[in-house]
Structure 1
Amino acid sequence: MSAPVTLDRREGPHGEVVLRRRAEHFEIIANGTFLMDTSDGRSERLLIDAAQAALPEEVRAGAAVLVGGLGVGFSLAHAAADPRWGRIAVVEREEAIIDWHRQGPLASISGAALADSRTVILHTDLMDYLRTSPDTYDALCLDIDNGPDWTVTEDNESLYAAEGLAACAARLNPGGVLAVWSARPSADFEGSLRNAGFSGVRTEEIPVARGVPDVVHLAVRPG
């Protein structure tokens, strides 16, 4: 495996974020923790597809989706490539990551999606947005950590607790879908989703080359 080359390093309000290139792929490192790269976007695409498939048939066309975390842009690009989605909002708290997409190397992934009239980028903290925004969506597709049990920063932990799940439910229309990406399954998080009043709680797995599968946790706000 080739050595990584650092392309940009920024100190933000939530710590350090780094963009690296390793051979032909890009990597994002947050506070010294590997977050994601461009080597395989299957699980990010499943995050979007699984949410779309879990929606009631009558709202699939024109459904509004909130993507939590811009990352390397796979989830946004996949949502924008699907004409069934209506409004596509992306919440990203790191200005550096937004810059890397708008005028940096990651524009090769997200450029067409950012130019799509359905897309809006919201530079804000996800939990703040969920708690205070009046906007509602048919699907929330969240990928801001390595999973509910492995957060990038400690303040992200509240998203997966009762407070955060209540805020997610408040932003969902009745019958709306919450989809949460994770690097490993979490039985505890499934229990938290049920305790928060979500129905249809299940986990879809994505096999990886080694180790436990990536997963998408899915839950529905009852109508």
Structure 2
Amino acid sequence: MPTADRHTAHSSVTLDRREGPYGEVVLRERGDDFEIIANGCFLMDTADGRSERLLIDAALAALSAGRTDPAVLVGGLGVGFSLAHAAAEPRWGRIAVVEREQAIIDWHLDGPLARISAVALADPRTAILATDLVTYLRTTTDRYDALCLDIDNGPDWTVTEDNGSLYSASGLADCRERLNPGGVLAVWSAQPSTAFEQALKNAGFIGVRTEEVRVARGVPDVVHLALRDG
């Protein structure tokens, strides 16, 4: 049951609020849209989704032609746009999505966000990995053709302090190790970061570039792209 009443068209209703190992996570409904808030920090909503879809499309476009059934890892389930867009593309092979917040997984499996992700989660190519992305990248032996990561508001604006290690030299080395030769790393950000571009180059990635998604006001959302040499 909602814990707040809707007073105006722009007010929000809290649908669920949970305390987990990484702090508080909240699902809100605002009009026709849903919002996810973590530890008081706005993460994402369902109002648009263009940049989440670009994250997937840009990664696929960056892969070399002729690659058959490339495997993609989506880092962060969020509101489900990236996963749904990946599953709607028949060229992807294995699709894994890492999500550490059980609440978010539940909201997709049997909650309000199922309207976005139900088809993708029913796809036999799709698997949910209920674990921390940073830990998974450091410990797994799995490899992918694309890593599409969206767990923060960007390399310079992390949701929790621990996430900062993902964008460090050691974290980027883990990302590179998890990619097949010629694979692509795609990282969503709420703003461009020249420092992160340099960090990607320092980590041995090639073809480093940034694609923008224009927004009505303010700094554009971006996707940072980098390739592991083949």
TM over 0.5: yes
Residue 58 of structure 1 deviates from its aligned partner by: 1.8
What is the aligned partner in structure 2 of residue 16 from structure 1? 24
Number of equivalent positions: 222
* Structure 1 CA distance for aligned equivalents of residues 199 and 23 of structure 2: 28
Indicate which of 55, 67, 72 corresponds to 2:63: 55
Given the two structures, how large is their TM-score scaled by the length of structure 1?
A: 0.99
* Structure 1 CA distance for aligned equivalents of residues 166 and 158 of structure 2: 10
| Matched ranges for 1:1-223 at <5 A | 2-59=10-67, 61-223=68-230
Given the two structures, how large is their TM-score scaled by the length of structure 2?
A: 0.96
Greater C-alpha Rg: 2
Q: Which sections of structure 1, spanning at least 5 residues, go unmatched?
A: none
* Structure 2 CA distance for aligned equivalents of residues 58 and 200 of structure 1: 19
Query: Deviation digits for residues 77-110 of structure 1, max 9, x if unmatched?
Result: 0000000000000000000000000000000000
2:181 aligned counterpart, secondary structure: strand
- Residue identity matched to 1:148: P
Residue 209 of structure 1 deviates from its aligned partner by: 1.2
Residue 38 of structure 1 deviates from its aligned partner by: 0.1
Residue 20 of structure 1 deviates from its aligned partner by: 0.1
* Structure 1 CA distance for aligned equivalents of residues 216 and 100 of structure 2: 31
Q: What is the aligned-residue RMSD (CA, Å)?
A: 0.6
**Which aligned segments of 4 or more residues in structure 1 are displaced greater than 6 angstroms?**
none
* Structure 2 CA distance for aligned equivalents of residues 117 and 24 of structure 1: 29
1:57 aligned counterpart, secondary structure: coil
* Structure 2 CA distance for aligned equivalents of residues 165 and 129 of structure 1: 13
> Percent identity of the aligned residues?
77
Residue 208 of structure 1 deviates from its aligned partner by: 0.7
Query: Deviation digits for residues 135-182 of structure 1, max 9, x if unmatched?
Result: 000000000000000000000000001010000001000000000000
Which is richer in strand? 1
